[in-house]
Amino acid sequence: MRNKSLSLFSTGILTLLLVNFSFAQKNSNDIKEPSLRTTPKLVVGIVVDQMRYDYITRFWNHYGDDGFKRLVNEGFNCKNNHFNYAPTSTGPGHTSVYTGTTPATHGIIGNDWYDKDSGQSVYCTSDDTYSSVGTASDAGKMSPHRMNVTTITDQLRLHTQMRGKTIAVALKDRGAVLPGGHTANAAYWFHGEDEGKWITSSYYMTQLPKWVQDFNSSNKIEQYKKPWTTLKDINTYLESGLDNNTYEGLFTGETMPTFPHDLPKLWEANGKYDLLKATPYGNSLTTDFALAALDGENLGSDMTTDFLAISFSSTDYVGHKYGVNAKEVQDVYLRLDEDLARLFKALDKKVGDDEYTVFLTADHAAINVPAYLSDQKIPAGYFEAEDMNTKFTEFLNYRFGTTDIVKNNSNYQLFLDHKIIQNLDMEVADVQEILAKELLTYEHIDRVYTAYQMWQNEYTEGIPYILQNGYNQKRSGDILLVLQPGFITYPKTGSTHGSPQIYDTHAPLLFYGKGIKKGSTVERTEIPDIAPTISSLLGIAFPNGTTGKPIAKVLE
């Protein structure tokens, strides 16, 4: 009887254990593993050169459903996105997007800058240690060697043991070289003049791949040698100023800045193939080449994430020539909208809908033409640098007995000769302050900061914060000038950029595709936030100089 009771007890315990094990196993199966990363087959980074945020809203009713509207309606729109440094120009812009930091860290402090070691001006990507590939000219002697840190494209390559490809494409060399990073499989840019070819540097390869050679020998480039007419009826371009006005520049050979622009007639006098850059056809040509790269490199064809970096440069050339209020600017964006739609449809077909991730931003924005603003009774105008130099030279001779104390004046920075200052038995910080106080008295100079201030303080907001993020201790100057809002050093026609003012810093930031939420925010985001956001999405290491933060709202 006792054995029977033990047997029943044992059976009960065993049954209870089996039930508990089954229940635990069921619960274990129901628990999903945490999502550590998103695995798009392809990331597409798009930088639109000189794009202001309000180009999205201003031209909205003219856009189709498959370009900008697709990104906004089906993706995430950061409406209050800004550059948090100056100068706001192309080289620093592309670098900051892809490194997740600012010139203070990555070292690209301008398109060109005065090199304190050599005493010469240097270009952000020039490198005579490499040779051109695809042309006999020097246009291919480029590399990213002046960029001090890694990019998001570098980190993806490292994470995938170099199996993931990075291809970078732009009309401008700096628009391809800097986003491609140090480890890109290739960066290609357009060499115009009398050649009209896509080229590269021996930094990447010794000869162009067959698909690039085939593209260069095709008639795709020749098809854009045609008049530039408006995409839509020009009378519907009510979001822009008059077609014929005094605020716009002219191509050589034109007498009025009006449509149509007869490119075949203007060809010889305007740089031949370089003429295409200052028309929407340059963006279309960039799209053509990016699609050729998509096929030629088999991007997004397997589960190892690839990266395609595209910069649309023609928007910058057109903005500089005509100004942000021109019908030419409106037309270039309407045509870019069609090129984006063409790109996304190709990605849907080649890579697969919801199998790729896109971000779109700019490298800087732009000011409205000051002459136009002034005519609208808005404070704006032009800073006469020659007048300042004459007055400043007189001051230097009077105060120090020499003008040699200033070695260079560029990018709104003054570089001083520290040896001469020492020979005068003066402290550099004292001389910086003396000169800053003098310059602050000049008309249309709004603020002046010294390198000593940049070293001694940590600014967290406003203009000094923006300047400090752009100040590199090894490369930047001794005195930093800020012009009065609305004032520029530039010809009386066309728009420019470069300042720490909000019209140069407010740029679009759109995310779309795999791993991206639908929505928008008006909370402030900053350009260095892009790289860590994409890094977080991919589950890879941040670029090694990152100072930005992931935008949590963007990610699923």
CA angle 526, 529, 531 (to 5 degrees): 140
- Please give the helix or strand (H or E) that residue 447 lies within, else none: strand 445-450
Catalytic choice (38, 39, 88, 90): 90
Class of residue 366 by CB neighbours under 10 A (exposed 0-12, middle 13-18, buried 19+): buried
> Which of these, 48, 56, 45, 50, lies nearest to 100 by C-alpha position?
45
What is each CA distance from 99 to 93, 318, 523, 548, in whole angstroms?
10, 27, 22, 9
Residue 219 has which token pair?
Answer: 């008639």
Give every CB contact of residue 517 below 8 A, 6+ residues apart in sequence: 76, 553, 554, 555, 556
First to last CA, the chain: 64
β pairing state of 509-513 and 479-483: unpaired
CA atoms within 13 A on the CB side of 19: 6
d(CA 432, CA 385): 20
According to DSSP, residue 484 is labeled: P
According to DSSP, residue 214 is labeled: H
Phi and psi at residue 366, in whole multiples of 5°? -170, 155
Query: Is 241 in contact with 368 (CB distance < 8 Å)?
Result: no
Give every CB contact of residue 556 below 8 A, 6+ residues apart in sequence: 38, 515, 516, 517
Give every CB contact of residue 72 below 8 A, 6+ residues apart in sequence: 56, 510, 520
Is 38 catalytic? The answer is: no
Hey, is 520 helix, strand or coil?
strand
Residue 518 has which token pair?
Answer: 């639908």
Which strand ranges, in their side-by-side order, compose the sheet holding 406-410?
406-410, 413-416, 479-483, 445-450
> Which of these, 307, 328, 301, lies nearest to 244 by C-alpha position?
328
Query: Is 132 in contact with 199 (CB distance < 8 Å)?
Result: yes
Active site residues: 90
